[in-house]
Amino acid sequence: MRSAASSVTPTARTSAHDLFGRVRDVLGGSDELTRIEQGGSDVVSLRRFLVERLRATVFDRSEIEAIARILVRIDAHQCETVSAQIEKCAAQFAALRTVADAIGAAQPDDLAHTVTTSLCGPLGYRKAMFSVVNGSSWSPASVSMQPDLAPMFADLVSAVDGHGIELRDAPREAELVRKRRPYVLDRVDTYRYTYRPLIDLSRPSGYLAVPIVVGGRARGIIHVDRHEEGLTDSDMHMVGALAAVCTLSSERADLRGSLRARRTDMETRIAQLARALRELDASSVGFASAADEQNGQVGRESGPVSRAGPPAELTHREWEVLELLAAGETNSSISHALCISDGTVKSHVQRIFRKIHVSTRAEAAAFVARRRSRPRNADGR
């Protein structure tokens, strides 16, 4: 695809420094011209300066022609700059989906490195830093940069080691964490209310800082710069979109961690329940055996418990009461379980004791245990 910048003539490919030099050759030096150049070599301000001079000053024909040629070059320079910015933004937006997929697939421990390498790779920023916010401090965790800058910023790489920095020592970052809003600084403001040790090591021409907000709190900060150039609102939107992806990734990681913890807790509870059921089953058998042994001992010492003959048949409801009674349930719990009154339960217990020839609950439990150890009738008794 033929880019818009390719339509600019070779004479238009002029740097801002060359344009200021041409104006100085035609008009000579002036305080206002120096001020514009020292303020960042803004060609828009330079164009305004030339137009005002043409309106306010009488020039000869050759001077007017020279100024007109400079204005044409300035306009061409602006077209070239805008075209380059459009191409850069288009390339960034095209790479943003790939970067978002990479960040979404990154493990929590790899998120910081993935973000910074993506910003300095497909998205084309010159330097990028990822920091973690923890309470009243923030910790630079990862820094990346373009390969040609690496030899010049080895000290910056060494300084980003994850150590904590108090937010009170970095007012800009403290405000970002408190308000959860991004900010862009130009070259002039870079050293105002910022954390000077890192600024001195990074030496940017302005930078952008964007918070990563999770659960209503700033959990991280992304810093980017273009080193020799400033940043624009489009950069804020681009890095802001990337921060939103980081937010989703962090929230997803938190959710996965919560679900894993819940699953572990549930598995532990199920295992405890299964163990309790096994212990309950084992205790029932032991109780029945103890009851049998006790009844046998009583029989040896004092003869048969009862000589009244075989036990009478129990009704279905009486069997329900007896089963619960043998399991250790109280009269109150039996009444709730069977939806009958306490008085009815007492009546059932008395009739059951008479029918099976026992006088205590322990003897009744032993009776049930013995019946369980024998094959059951067709009706389950």
* pLDDT tens profile 186-233: 888 888 899 999 999 999 989 999 999 998 899 999 999 998 888 888
Q: Are residues 212 and 141 in contact, defined by beta-carbon separation less than 8 angstroms?
A: no
pLDDT computed for residue 179 by the predictor: 94
Which of the four pLDDT bands, split at 50, 70 and 90, describes residue 283?
low
For the ranges 120-124, 225-229, 340-344, 372-376, the lowest mean pLDDT is seen at 372-376
Which of the four pLDDT bands, split at 50, 70 and 90, describes residue 362?
confident
* Alpha-carbon 74 to chain mean position: 47
CA-based torsion, 362, 365, 369, 375: positive or negative: positive
**In this structure, how many other beta carbons lie within 10 angstroms of the beta carbon of residue 303?**
9
Q: Choose among 145, 121, 114: nearest CA to 212.
A: 114
Structure tokens at 189: 């403001």
Question: 92 vs 76, which has greater pLDDT?
Answer: 76
pLDDT computed for residue 9 by the predictor: 35
Percent of the chain scoring above 70 in pLDDT: 85
Going by DSSP bridges, is the β-strand pair 127-134/217-225 parallel, antiparallel, or unpaired?
Answer: antiparallel
Average pLDDT, the chain: 82
pLDDT computed for residue 371 by the predictor: 83
Separation CA 73–CA 36 (nearest Å) = 18
Largest Cα–Cα separation, the chain: 144
pLDDT computed for residue 12 by the predictor: 38
Q: Mind listing the domains of the chain with CATH numbers?
A: 16-94 (no CATH), 106-255 (3.30.450.40), 314-373 (1.10.10.10)
Which of the four pLDDT bands, split at 50, 70 and 90, describes residue 11?
very low
Separation CA 381–CA 379 (nearest Å) = 6
Supply angle C-alpha 336, 290, 315, rounded to 5.
Answer: 40
Helix (H) or strand (E) holding 137: strand 137-145
Amino acid at 319: W
Cα(first)–Cα(last) distance of the chain, in Å? Answer: 90
Amino acid at 362: A
Q: Are residues 138 and 177 in contact, defined by beta-carbon separation less than 8 angstroms?
A: yes
184 pairs with which residues across the strands? 208
301 has pLDDT over 50: no
Q: Are residues 89 and 231 in contact, defined by beta-carbon separation less than 8 angstroms?
A: no
Separation CA 63–CA 57 (nearest Å) = 11
Structure tokens at 134: 């923890």
Q: Is the pTM of this model over 0.75?
A: no
Which of the four pLDDT bands, split at 50, 70 and 90, describes residue 117?
very high
Phi, psi angles (nearest 5°) of residue 210 = -130, 130
Which of the four pLDDT bands, split at 50, 70 and 90, describes residue 21?
confident
Separation CA 70–CA 47 (nearest Å) = 9
Helix (H) or strand (E) holding 132: strand 127-134
pLDDT computed for residue 296 by the predictor: 53
Which of the four pLDDT bands, split at 50, 70 and 90, describes residue 351?
very high
Which of the four pLDDT bands, split at 50, 70 and 90, describes residue 250?
confident
Amino acid at 127: K
pLDDT computed for residue 184 by the predictor: 92
pLDDT computed for residue 195 by the predictor: 92
